[in-house]
Amino acid sequence: MATIASQVPKNLSFRFRIPCRKISGTASAKTVLDESYQIPNFSAMDAMEQYADVRMGWGKTGLVVSIEVTGKSKSLWCRESAILESDGLQVWVDTRDTHNVHRATKFCHWFIAMPAGGGAKKDKPIGNMLKINRSREDSPTLNRQKVSVDAKVTKGGYQMTLFIPGKALNGWNVDEQRNLGFNLAVIDSEKGWQTLAIGPELPISEDPSLWQTIQLVD
């Protein structure tokens, strides 16, 4: 029988603060982030496969998250009718960086991006904001602001950039609040989950205390 300690992810013992660099120019889904915007992936501590390069930057108008997935041997699986099971990216943001509550507040947000699955031919990227389960109060921006996604399917994977406008983030104020609660997961039907730190064995989609911190730096 496994001990309790062996069942608890190593990353649960730590909370990471990750610097997020400012973007020169206007942030958008067309923004190209070079290697200096790459963010570390702490899920490797729990032997989670690292198949995606993840980069992130910020501007006064919002956040940019880009991923590049490589090494796939199977085609993408993206379904607008099953977005939570589809290949793509999920991002959580808390504009108050609160880690002592287990239910989302009105400052917590959940976004999803898929490289395909939209349009008449199901080949267009999709971006959306989702309701967080068990939240104390929904963000007033829920379904009132659009996120934008740019994607390119490549041999063995895809490249995708998600732009989250500040207007979609209740409480977004980069002049006063530079620390944000943050989490992300790259999900692939072939390769599984790659998370920032803690994996899906814990309720990361609804519990802000399990999220990490990003610090917006110039």
Residue 43 confidence (pLDDT)? 59
Q: Band of the pLDDT at 6, cuts 50, 70, 90?
A: very low
Length of the chain: 218
Q: How many domains does the chain have?
A: 1
What sign for the dihedral angle of Cα 182, 205, 38, 34? Answer: negative
CATH of the domain at 80: 2.60.40.1190
Q: Is 4 contained in some domain? A: no
pLDDT at 67 over 60: yes
Q: Band of the pLDDT at 14, cuts 50, 70, 90?
A: low
Specify which residues 158 forms β-bridges with: 69, 153
Q: Is 10 contained in some domain? A: no
Q: Is 55 contained in some domain? A: yes
Q: Is 9 contained in some domain? A: no
Within 10 angstroms of residue 75's Cβ, the number of other Cβ atoms is 11
**pTM across the whole model:** 0.91
Q: pLDDT digit string (tens) for 135-171?
A: 999 999 998 999 999 999 999 999 999 999 999 999 9
Average pLDDT over residues 97-115: 97
Q: Is 11 contained in some domain? A: no
Q: Is 8 contained in some domain? A: no
Q: Is 133 contained in some domain? A: yes
The parent domain of residue 162 ranges over 17-217
Average pLDDT over residues 211-218: 96
Average pLDDT along the chain: 91
Strand boundaries in the chain, DSSP class E = 17-22, 52-59, 62-69, 88-94, 108-118, 124-130, 148-154, 157-165, 179-188, 192-195, 212-217
Q: pLDDT digit string (tens) for 71-82?
A: 999 999 999 999
Looking at 13-168, list the stretches that DSSP marks H as alpha helix, in order from N- to C-terminal side: none
Q: Is 2 contained in some domain? A: no
